Amino acid sequence: MVQTSDSPLLDPAHLARIEDLILLAKVVVNGNFFGLHRSRRQGHGNEFFQYRNYELGEDLKNVDWKVYAKRGELVSKTYHKPSNANLMLVLDASASMAFRGPSSPCSKFRYAQMLAACLAYLAHRQGDRIGLLGGSNGSLRWMFPSSGSESFKSIVSGIGSMVPSGSDMADGAWHKFKANLPAQATVVVISDFLENEEKLKERLSFALSPRYDCLCVQVLDPTEEDLPEADALRFYELEGVREVSVSPARIRALYRNRLGVHLESLSSIMASTGCLFTTVRTKDDLGHGIRRFLGMRGVA
Amino acid sequence: MMEFGQPLALWTGLALGLPVLAHLAYQTVSQRFAFPTLRFLSFSTIPRSGRRKPSDWALLLLRLLFFCALTLLLADPHWTEPDDPRQESFSISECLIVLDCSPSMGGWGGWEEGVRYARSLLRSDDQSRIGLLAIRDGTLAEWSVGTERSDLALALEELETQSSPWGIQAMIDRGADLFSPHASEKRMILISDFQKSSWQEVTGSFAERGIEVELVPVGHGDDPWADRSGNQAVVDCKASSLGSGKVRVWAALRNWDDRVAERVVSVFAGGESRQSERITLPPLGTEQVQFVLSSDDFAQAVVRLEGNDSLATDDNQSLWILPPAPKSFGFWRQPADNPVDLMERQFLGAAIKSAGDGVWMRWRENEDGADALRAGGGMPSLDFLMIVGLSGWFEDEGLSDPLLSYLNAGGTALITPPEDSYVRMNRALREPKILDFSFSGKKRTAFPMDPFRIDVLPENSSLAKVFSGDSSRDLYLAQILQFLEVEEGAGARVPLRDRSLRPLVLERSFANGGKLVFLAFRMLPEWTDLPLRNAFLPLLVELCSLDQSSLESGGALRMESGEKTELGQVVFHAKGKGLHQVENQRIEVVHPLIESMPELMKPKELREAVSGRRLLQPDKIPEDDPALAKASLPLWPWFALSAVLLLLVETFLSTPRSSLISHKEAPRA
């Protein structure tokens, strides 16, 4: 059963039907988090923001004389103030992310896509520069942080075009990512974190620096935590060729125990690297992950 | 009604329990489930929840039907129209007695025992219809199943052991056809000594044809399948001339027993024992013995082992000891002594005289006969006439008529060309129509080192059969230094050519087997080196049809009883042992050596050989009977089709559909 959401607009079962990720992000953010995040600051910049009434003493170069000629009112143009904040989204597109349990509204990867798009929109609204690293060991997508509407559209398009396949990203990709990180950045890693936890310390070592904030969002499917209901199944792994025939009912307790140990281990690793760590389920509403992000940014 | 060709295969129907057991005892994990990682999974036993009840009735039913179809398919089902009730109620039992009449049955009391057993069958109260198959007068004799038993008893009295070209295999094959197709019981009784030499090649398929075979071994004494002993035999005899009116008789004696045998061997001639010798025969060994007799008094002799043993028919052997009358040859040549003609005459005469087998003198020169023929004085006994250096003298003396008379009477003549006057030679032969050919000149090799050669003999020619291997190589190496270039006319054939396909020899056949051979070259060193080669004599013998190679000792033809041969216009059938003379050909008919061998077949080998591999019920309808095959419709294609369809449906149903793997609960089959 789908858990009750804060708002129907955050329910993954509904949101998963929206193909356009930009629209989805606007629906989620504007409908549920309006006022909970910092808006773009006005200032001197190149991107037009809005008109406002001219105030006496204000520099006359801000007056829009064309409006004055038409309407006889003095209005000033305001501009976005450029932001120095950077958001780096790291999206795991390995084959295991394609898993969708029998009762789940969407796959783990679709959930991760939706969450990443929402975070990107939030950052875009704040005028942050947004970058993207996504993919797997087979295909990799790398976009340097940049700002602006076109950049936002490119980022969301990149998120939407990824297809889960292969295994986890290779170490080389992580080295390149760390080497090209901006001087300051907020990094959000969205993955299921089911493999290679022993490498996380090295991969997330940048988070130890005070210049970086890192949020690791683990996306799990409820079926992964409880195993499917069946007398006997032949499990085969999505990222390999191994198969095993088991009775889920007979190993469920042991399985939960092992998974729990793994999650505790992950938490420990994240804490040791200074990363915030949170686990979301594909049946959870998107607000959980977004609030965790806003909390990290000190907005919410 | 449905019948089965392999009813035993119905036992495979027990396999019907397999799918039930599979459903009750096992749960196949056929559904695959994609999962992000297996690292937290552990192996576990699969619950056998199906023990309580089958979980998929449709699948179970399908599998049961599949095994049913498979079982019926293996049982070779046929649909046959119900038989006529009257026929069904009428049970026919048929019995065929096959009596081995081979000569080996004459020993060890086998024949008497076999006939006695056959009589007892005829006297029995058994209501079966009985037939008889045996050898009579050298041919297959059959009394159909259902013949009156009294007639069969009379037929048994007339039978005797004999050699025949009809072997056991022919009797076996024919015997299977003598049963009526509607007989409910078919029984073939084989009465024989089952001697290995006669039975080792025999094969049959009685089991497939529903015929029950009963083996009745006879002539074995107390132990019906033990090897036999106590036989010695005269296996070979030959006579050769010693000159001075003496002839040597040589005999080989074989002991078939595994113990030493002491026997007295004698040679009989003129009804009296001429010489005797006691010999010791080693176990399973051979010994030789020789006698020297006067060849003037007797034409025949018999080598005989004195006393009795288990098989009497191989204890003696007759042979011709009188030398055959030699054949005669003579020469015609020009009256004046010509050294070249004399030399050629000497070459040819020496060659013909040596054309024997080294035992008897086969050819004798008959100069008087040749002169008498030349003088036109009747038809002397001259088998071969050679005319050397035929030229004008032949025409001057008017010898064409005597030659034509001689050839038309069946004589054989050889003509060689002269040193010159070739045109007259041509005219002397062509005008009286002795041999039609044209003469165009004399070919002479320009270089002695590059002579003319004989062309490859045409395949299937009589010469090609004689000259093969080394002998053909010797012939092809022969040098022809000069020869007359001639062209054959009507009636003439060319058996030999040079490599330019010019005739080297012409021949013409005459009535009554007469033959004229004309050589385009002379048998002289100036013309050819052929007389100095090994190929010379066989070439001469073959060209002039003087072949005597088939003759055995004493000029006699050796045959085994039961064999046939053509002697001119007569076909001679060797029915029994002894000496015969057909026209001028002497013949010795001997006991077949293989009939003396004591080895016997083993009963297991015999049963496998005559029954075939498959053991079917006796009343199975033979597949090759077209009349009955029409009423039997094979059903196996339908069952095969059903099995395939069931298997396909079962595969479809038991395979989990891909859409169910991740989203739906797995079927429990």
The per-residue DSSP string of B616-642 comes to --TTPPPTT-HHHHTTEEE-HHHHHHH
Q: Which residues are CB-contacts of B281 (< 8 A; sequence separation ≥ 6)?
A: B232, B253, B254, B255, B260, B261, B262, B263, B287
Q: Which residues are CB-contacts of B120 (< 8 A; sequence separation ≥ 6)?
A: none
Reply yes or no on whether the pLDDT at A39 is more than 60: no
- The rounded distance, in Å, linking the Cα atoms of B198 and B212 is 21
| Ramachandran assignment for B538, one of left (phi > 0), alpha (psi -120 to 50 degrees), beta (any other) | alpha
Q: Cβ of B36 and A244 within 8 Å?
A: no
Residue at A188: amino acid letter: V
pLDDT tens readout for residues A47-73:
677 888 888 888 888 899 999 999 989
Q: Nearest 5°: phi and psi at B605?
A: -60, -40
Eight-class DSSP state of B200: T
Q: Cβ of B666 and A230 within 8 Å?
A: yes
Q: Beta-carbon neighbour count of residue A93 at 10 Å?
A: 27
Contacts of A254 in chain B (CB under 8 A): 42
- The rounded distance, in Å, linking the Cα atoms of A176 and A173 is 5
pLDDT at B615: 36
- The rounded distance, in Å, linking the Cα atoms of B310 and A265 is 104
Eight-class DSSP state of A289: H
Q: Cβ of A247 and B49 within 8 Å?
A: no
- Looking at the partner chain, which of A100, A192, A232 has a beta carbon nearest the beta carbon of B662? A100
Reply yes or no on whether the pLDDT at B50 is more than 90: no
Helix (H) or strand (E) holding A131: strand A129-135
- The rounded distance, in Å, linking the Cα atoms of A266 and A255 is 16
pLDDT tens readout for residues B434-485:
999 998 888 888 877 788 999 988 888 888 888 887 778 888 889 999 999 9
- Looking at the partner chain, which of B30, B32, B44 has a beta carbon nearest the beta carbon of A251? B44
- The rounded distance, in Å, linking the Cα atoms of B164 and B575 is 8
Mapped onto helix, strand or coil, the DSSP state of residue A6 is coil
Between β-strands B503-509 and B515-519, what pairing exists: parallel, antiparallel or unpaired?
antiparallel
pLDDT at B619: 40
Q: What are the tokens at A30?
A: 């504007």
pLDDT tens readout for residues B144-173:
888 888 898 898 888 888 777 777 888 888
Chain centroid, CA B420 distance in Å: 54
- The rounded distance, in Å, linking the Cα atoms of A153 and B36 is 31
List residues in chain A touching B: CB distance below 8 A. Answer: 96-97, 99-102, 108, 192, 194-195, 221, 224, 228-240, 242-247, 249-251, 254-255, 258-259, 262
B333 near B343, Cβ under 8 Å? no
- The rounded distance, in Å, linking the Cα atoms of B567 and B584 is 10
ipTM metric: 0.79
CA distance B621 to chain A (A): 54
Q: Beta-carbon neighbour count of residue A101 at 10 Å?
A: 23
B521 near B483, Cβ under 8 Å? yes
Contacts of A243 in chain B (CB under 8 A): 32
Split at pLDDT 50, 70, 90, the class of A37 is: low
- The rounded distance, in Å, linking the Cα atoms of B91 and B198 is 35
Name the pTM for this structure.
0.43
Is some CB atom of chain A closer than 8 A to the CB atom of B42? Answer: yes
Residue of B522, B520, B518, B519 lying closest to B508 (CA atoms): B518
Mapped onto helix, strand or coil, the DSSP state of residue B97 is strand
B195 near B600, Cβ under 8 Å? yes
pLDDT tens readout for residues A239-280:
888 888 888 888 999 999 999 999 999 999 999 998 999 999
Between β-strands B300-305 and B261-269, what pairing exists: parallel, antiparallel or unpaired?
antiparallel
- Looking at the partner chain, which of B33, B37, B662 has a beta carbon nearest the beta carbon of A234? B33
- The rounded distance, in Å, linking the Cα atoms of A45 and A207 is 31
Split at pLDDT 50, 70, 90, the class of B331 is: very high
**Chain B residue closest in CA terms to A96:** B36
As a whole number, mean pLDDT of residues B575-599 equals 81
pLDDT tens readout for residues B232-288:
999 888 887 776 778 888 899 999 888 899 999 999 988 888 899 999 999 888 999
Q: Cβ of B666 and A100 within 8 Å?
A: no
Reply yes or no on whether the pLDDT at B617 is more than 80: no
- The rounded distance, in Å, linking the Cα atoms of A201 and A220 is 21
Contacts of B663 in chain A (CB under 8 A): 102
Reply yes or no on whether the pLDDT at B128 is more than 80: yes
DSSP-H helix ranges across B306-437: 339-353, 367-374, 392-396, 400-408, 422-430
- Looking at the partner chain, which of A231, A239, A244 has a beta carbon nearest the beta carbon of B41? A244
Q: Beta-carbon neighbour count of residue B478 at 10 Å?
A: 19
Mapped onto helix, strand or coil, the DSSP state of residue A261 is helix
Mapped onto helix, strand or coil, the DSSP state of residue B170 is helix
State the residue for tokens 């010693």.
B242
CA distance B35 to chain A (A): 5
B489 near B438, Cβ under 8 Å? yes
Eight-class DSSP state of B666: P
**Chain A residue closest in CA terms to B662:** A102
